[in-house]
Structure 1
């Protein structure tokens, strides 16, 4: 991904009629998105995702120009966030809702990446152990380097947290088999979308009476699902 300043300068040199302007403009992060990214780069949890809680959210639903601008901004922000190891939105606005549901229960997070979500929940008072097998990122929260299945098998924690497991990777099934059917699982991502695998979704049963608000990047239908393995 091109550096934002260089990208903007390049677009400005293009003639108005050049089709490359339309192709490259969606890659530009606006000021609100830049502030969101700056927080992550500074090792901080952003205060608020800047584009509403659902893709398509608009102050004026009939304003197509606003729709295009916000869609482009969200797309560009998602690309930048992924480059920093944030795949689902993490901010200080929605994570307190999840922390409230967790309460005093102890959480094991597997495939935690840099521990961005673990940091946000820990700041809300959640007792969370974040684990990952690859710890080459500079972490936001202490990461225990351990295989995800092994972590689940050894854990005496109360809740398993899984956010954006790799697409079509069945390792998450082994993790949940090791975790068992008695303790709850929090899954964050698209249900039968671009994360997880069919074998996981065949056996993970969400509880329909639990709703945690989660902002969504453009074109991504992320939600927080709380359920059990069957």
Structure 2
């Protein structure tokens, strides 16, 4: 998928210095002759560059240096020095050490997305396209929208659709969190206040990457069940993992949806659920 096919969510950060990307690209020339490893580095660097320039990236495979990639490197060394084992061993030592560094970097892409762009859940172009088709033209309220990547992508695809993004922005009070503004209009209000103001005006309520440090998600679910029982509730997160409270996962009735273009690329298995 080239950049012209990606969803433009805004201007992006337009950062000129991204240490993570510089470190990753420092291995690009070394592994250029080894296609599988070169493609891995390119996929991750393209993801960073797309978001930085204001585009939602493409979907990602599991990000790791696989056994097949290690075998590709070994074959490259043998082919380069078939009759010179000393030189082959020296090259293998250099490449294997660098391969470990590449593996570490790609496995920590999510940390880089959080650090540089405040993107916690991975919001890709194919996923937002799927989500937009799934939602149709129904009016939507997003709770806990964070920096607004999900609503920004949906708004870009369907500018006439009613999409209300809200967040209480408590993340601004946490240490080492970026103070950059959301990438789209996000109203500063709590989830309960957003439900009271907009709950009757929408057909779908979305909640993505609710924190696992409070039971606010459970409080919201109870209010939705009691006061807005006909509304469709979509939750994006990791079941009993990195997102949402334990009581929420215990009490929510879950139906997985939209798995085609929304799957894990690291150890966090975020999914989309319809919740009763």
Q: Distance between the aligned counterparts of 1:72 and 1:108, measured in 2?
A: 37
Q: Distance between the aligned counterparts of 2:49 and 2:26, measured in 1?
A: 22
Give the alignment's Cα RMSD to 1 decimal: 3.1
Residue correspondence of structure 1 range 186-197 to structure 2 within 5 A: 186-197=234-245
User: 1:97–1:212: 8 Å Cα contact kept in structure 2?
Assistant: no
User: 1:107–1:160: 8 Å Cα contact kept in structure 2?
Assistant: yes
The 1:9–1:130 alpha-carbon spacing in structure 2 relative to 1, beyond 3 Å, is closer
Q: 1:212 aligns with which of 259, 263, 276?
A: 259
Shift of 1:190: 0.5
User: 1:75–1:218: 8 Å Cα contact kept in structure 2?
Assistant: yes
The 1:142–1:149 alpha-carbon spacing in structure 2 relative to 1, beyond 3 Å, is same
**Alignment coverage as a number of residue pairs:** 203
Shift of 1:150: 1.1
Corresponding residue number in structure 1 for 2:19: 3
Residue correspondence of structure 1 range 16-55 to structure 2 within 5 A: 30-46=41-57, 48-49=58-59, 51-52=60-61, 55=62
The 1:143–1:8 alpha-carbon spacing in structure 2 relative to 1, beyond 3 Å, is closer
Residue correspondence of structure 1 range 1-230 to structure 2 within 5 A: 3-4=19-20, 7=23, 30-46=41-57, 48-49=58-59, 51-52=60-61, 55=62, 63=68, 65=70, 72-83=104-115, 84-125=117-158, 126-134=161-169, 136-154=179-197, 155-156=199-200, 157-180=202-225, 181-207=229-255, 210-213=257-260, 214-228=262-276
The 1:66–1:117 alpha-carbon spacing in structure 2 relative to 1, beyond 3 Å, is farther
Q: Distance between the aligned counterparts of 1:71 and 1:189, measured in 2?
A: 25
Q: Distance between the aligned counterparts of 1:8 and 1:211, measured in 2?
A: 31
| Secondary structure of the corresponding residue to residue 30 of structure 1 | helix
Which consecutive unaligned segments of at least 5 residues does structure 1 have?
12-28
Task: Report the TM-score when normalising by structure 1.
Answer: 0.75
Q: Which has the higher helix share?
A: 2
Shift of 1:64: 5.7
Task: Report the TM-score when normalising by structure 2.
Answer: 0.64
User: 1:165–1:195: 8 Å Cα contact kept in structure 2?
Assistant: yes
Which consecutive unaligned segments of at least 5 residues does structure 2 have?
1-17, 28-39, 73-98, 173-178
| Secondary structure of the corresponding residue to residue 225 of structure 1 | strand
Shift of 1:71: 5.5
